[in-house]
């Protein structure tokens, strides 16, 4: 798969993300998957991806989701990360093929809750959950999720 390719067909990915988001009783969208390239700078002295880089992989996937699913450019995102929970399952190495899947688990008035699964060579490497808060760039406060975002997310339900 190319670096920013999208796959919506994998039942394994979707079920894994659903398990990762066990704090939620429903899924809003049908899942999204993107590939991530492991860079030499991501590695620690033991040749593993540094634990902090996993959060960067989530950010890359989230940016891809905003761009490809919501049609929002990086300069239009106006969202901040309010919460991050990350559980590690295995190490990632330079040779691994890495994918990150995302499912929207909840849409609040001004927030999006997202569940993630990072996979290395098809094996679960980590699960995560984030909450993004949509902000007003003028005053830094929260503002409602745009209706266009809601429609695109809900449209993915099928």
Top pLDDT among 74 and 145 is at 145
Top pLDDT among 31 and 51 is at 51
Q: CB under 8 Å to 20, separation ≥6 — which residues?
A: 115, 116, 117, 127, 128, 129
Please give the helix or strand (H or E) that residue 131 lies within, else none. strand 123-134
Q: Which residue bears the tokens 């902090």?
A: 52
d(CA 130, CA 28): 15
pLDDT at residue 27, rounded to an integer: 52
Establish if 82 belongs to a structural domain. Answer: yes
In this prediction, residues 139-145 reach a mean pLDDT of: 93
How many structural domains does the chain have? 1
Establish if 110 belongs to a structural domain. Answer: yes
Q: CATH number for the domain including 104?
A: 3.10.129.10
Establish if 146 belongs to a structural domain. Answer: yes
Q: How confident is the model at residue 151 (pLDDT cuts 50, 70, 90)?
A: very high
* 35 φ, ψ (degrees, to nearest 5): -90, 150
Establish if 6 belongs to a structural domain. Answer: no
Q: Looking at the predicted structure, is the pLDDT value of residue 30 above 80?
A: no
Structural domain boundaries, residue 129: 11-155
Q: Looking at the predicted structure, is the pLDDT value of residue 144 above 60?
A: yes
pLDDT at residue 1, rounded to an integer: 38
- pLDDT tens-digit series, residues 63-83: 999 999 999 988 888 999 999
Among candidates 31, 22, 34, which has minimal Cα distance to 127?
Answer: 22
Establish if 3 belongs to a structural domain. Answer: no
Establish if 59 belongs to a structural domain. Answer: yes
């Amino acid at each position: 798969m190319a670096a920013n390719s999208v796959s919506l067909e994998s039942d394994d990915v979707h079920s894994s993300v659903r398990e990762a988001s066990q704090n939620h009783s429903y899924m809003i969208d049908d899942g999204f998957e993107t590939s991530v390239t492991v860079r030499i700078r991501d590695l620690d002295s033991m040749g593993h991806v540094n634990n902090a880089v996993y959060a960067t992989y989530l950010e890359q996937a989230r940016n891809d989701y905003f761009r490809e699913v919501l049609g929002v450019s990086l300069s239009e995102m106006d969202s901040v990360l309010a919460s991050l929970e990350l559980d590690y399952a295995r190490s990632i190495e330079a040779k691994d093929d890495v994918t990150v899947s995302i499912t929207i688990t909840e849409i609040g008035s001004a927030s999006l809750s997202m569940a993630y699964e990072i996979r290395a060579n098809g094996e679960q490497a980590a699960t995560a959950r984030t909450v993004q808060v949509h902000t007003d760039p003028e005053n830094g406060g929260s503002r409602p999720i745009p209706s266009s975002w809601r429609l695109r997310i809900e449209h993915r339900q099928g």
